[in-house]
Amino acid sequence: MADQKQSIHGVWASRWVFILAATGSAVGLGNIWKFPYMAGVYGGGAFVAVYLLCIALVGAPIMLAETVLGRRGRQSPINSLRSLAYTAKASPRWAWAAVMGMIAALLILSFYSVVAGWALDYIIGMGQGSFTGISGEGAATRFATLTDDPWRLAGWHSLFMLVTAIIIARGVVAGLEKALRIMMPMLFVLLVALFGYSLSTGHFMEGVRFLFHFDLAEVPAGILAAMGHAFFTLSVGVGSIMVFGAYMPRESSIAGTVMTVALLDTLVALTAGLALFPVVFAAGLEPSAGPGLMFVTLPIAFGNIAMGQVFGLLFFMLVAVAAWSSAISMLEPAVAYGVERSGRSRVAVTAAIAILCWLVGMGTVLSFNVLAEARFMVADESGWRLFAWTDAGGKTFFESIDYLTSRILLPLGGLAFCLFAGWVLSRDALREELSLQHPQLFPVLLCLLRYVAPAGVAIVFVTELFK
Ligand code: PHE
Report if residue 145 sits inside a domain.
yes
* Rounded-to-integer distance, Cα 415 and Cα 428, Å: 21
Q: Quick one: 151 exposed, middle or buried, by C-beta within 10 A (0-12, 13-18, 19+)? A: exposed
CB 314 within 8 A of CB 146: no
Q: What string of pLDDT tens digits covers the 467 residues of the chain? A: 344 567 777 777 778 888 888 999 999 999 999 999 999 989 899 999 999 999 999 999 999 999 999 999 999 999 999 999 999 999 999 999 999 999 999 999 999 999 999 999 999 999 998 888 888 889 999 999 999 999 999 999 999 999 999 989 987 666 667 677 777 788 888 888 888 888 888 889 999 999 998 877 777 778 899 999 999 999 999 999 999 999 888 777 788 889 999 999 999 999 999 988 988 888 888 888 889 999 998 888 888 777 788 888 888 988 998 999 999 999 999 999 999 999 999 999 999 999 999 999 999 999 999 998 888 877 777 777 777 776 667 899 999 999 999 999 999 999 999 999 999 999 999 999 988 888 899 999 999 999 999 999 998 888 877 76
- Contact between 136 and 300 under an 8 Å Cβ cutoff? The reply is yes
Q: Where are the alpha helices (DSSP H) in 235-292?
A: 240-245, 254-282
The closest of 359, 368, 339, 415 to 109, measured between CA atoms, is 359
Question: Which of 235, 242, 318 for a ligand 1 pocket mutation test, highest count of atoms within 8 Å of Cβ?
Answer: 235
CA gap 331, 101 in Å, rounded: 11
If one residue of 240, 242, 332, 357 were mutated to test the ligand 1 pocket, choosing by the most ligand atoms within 8 A of its CB, it would be 240
Count how many Cα atoms sit within 13 Å of the Cα of residue 384 in the half-sphere of its side chain: 1
Nearest CA to ligand 1 atom 11: 235
Where does residue 452 rank: exposed (0-12), middle (13-18), buried (19+ CB within 10 A)? middle
Is the minimum distance from the CB of 101 to ligand 1 under 6 angstroms?
Answer: no
* Spacing, Cα 409 to ligand 1 middle (Å): 13
- Asked whether residue 190 is assigned to any structural domain, the reply reads yes
Judge whether 451 lies within some domain.
yes
Reduced to 3 states (helix: H, G, I; strand: E, B; else coil), residue 3 is coil
Separation of alpha carbons 467 and 464, rounded Å? 5
**Total structural domains in the chain?**
1
Is 9 part of any domain? Answer: no
Handedness of CA 421, 243, 439, 449 (dihedral sign): negative
Ligand 1 atom closest to the CA of 322, numbered from 1 = 12
| Cβ pair 44, 211 in contact under 8 A | yes
Beta partners for 380? Answer: 383
Domain that holds residue 96: 15-465
Residue 219: which CATH number?
Answer: 1.20.1740
425 assigned to some structural domain: yes
Q: Does 59 reside within a domain?
A: yes
CA-to-CA distance for 314 and 188, rounded, in angstroms? 12
